[in-house]
C-alpha cells in the first residue's frame, strides 16, 4: 500500500537524511580523531559511519518521492529504532569503554535518532489518515 508523503513526513525524512549524512561523514572521516577523544574504537566509528551510507541513500530517495510504500516507511522507522537499541546496548555491554564524552556522544546521537523515529511515525500516521 502506498501513501502520499505529507510535508511533515517529508521534513522529518529530510532532517534525518541531513543529520545521518553528517554523522556518517564525521564518523568516516574523523574516526582517527574521534576514537581517542571519545574512548571508542576507531574501527567501530569508521564502520558504523560506512553502515549509515546506504541508509542515507534510502532516506534521500524516500524523501524525494510523492508516494511511498507504507512498508518502506515502517522499515525506516524500524532501522532507526534498532540503531537506538544497538547504541544503548553497546554502552551497557561492556564491549567498549568510552569515556564521559564518548558516552555523551553515543547517548546524544541515539536520542536524536529516537526523535527522528518518533517524528517519522507521527508523519506516517498523519499521511495514512489523509
Q: Specify whether the CB–CB gap between 63 and 99 falls below 8 A.
A: no
Q: Domain range spanning residue 36?
A: 2-129
C-alpha cell at 18: 541531513
Alpha-carbon gap, residue 50 to 113, rounded angstroms: 17
Strand partners, 2: 69
Q: Is 6 helix (H, G, I), strand (E, B) or coil?
A: coil
User: How many domains, the chain?
Assistant: 1
* Residue 78 burial (C-beta neighbours within 10 Å; 0-12, 13-18, 19+): exposed
Q: Which DSSP state fits 20?
A: H
For each successive 10 residues of the chain (130 residues), what is the average pLDDT?
Answer: 93 98 98 98 98 98 95 98 98 96 98 98 86
pLDDT value at residue 1: 85
Specify the pLDDT at position 130.
66
Kind and range of the H or E run holding 104: helix 100-129
∠ CA 5-11-15, rounded to 5°: 135
Structure letter (DSSP) for residue 39: T
Amino acid at each position: 500500500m502506498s501513501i502520499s508523503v505529507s510535508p511533515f513526513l517529508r521534513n522529518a525524512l529530510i532532517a534525518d537524511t541531513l543529520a545521518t549524512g553528517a554523522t556518517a561523514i564525521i564518523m568516516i572521516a574523523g574516526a582517527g580523531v574521534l576514537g581517542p577523544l571519545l574512548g571508542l574504537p576507531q574501527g567501530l566509528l569508521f564502520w558504523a559511519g560506512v553502515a549509515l551510507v546506504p541508509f542515507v541513500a534510502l532516506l534521500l530517495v524516500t524523501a524525494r518521492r510523492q508516494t511511498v510504500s507504507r512498508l518502506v516507511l515502517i522499515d525506516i522507522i524500524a532501522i532507526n529504532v534498532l540503531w537506538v537499541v544497538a547504541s544503548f546496548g553497546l554502552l551497557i555491554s561492556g564491549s567498549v569503554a568510552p569515556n564521559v564524552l564518548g558516552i555523551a556522544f553515543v547517548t546524544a546521537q541515539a536520542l536524536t535518532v529516537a526523535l527522528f523515529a518518533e517524528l517519522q511515525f507521527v508523519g506516517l500516521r498523519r499521511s495514512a489518515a489523509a
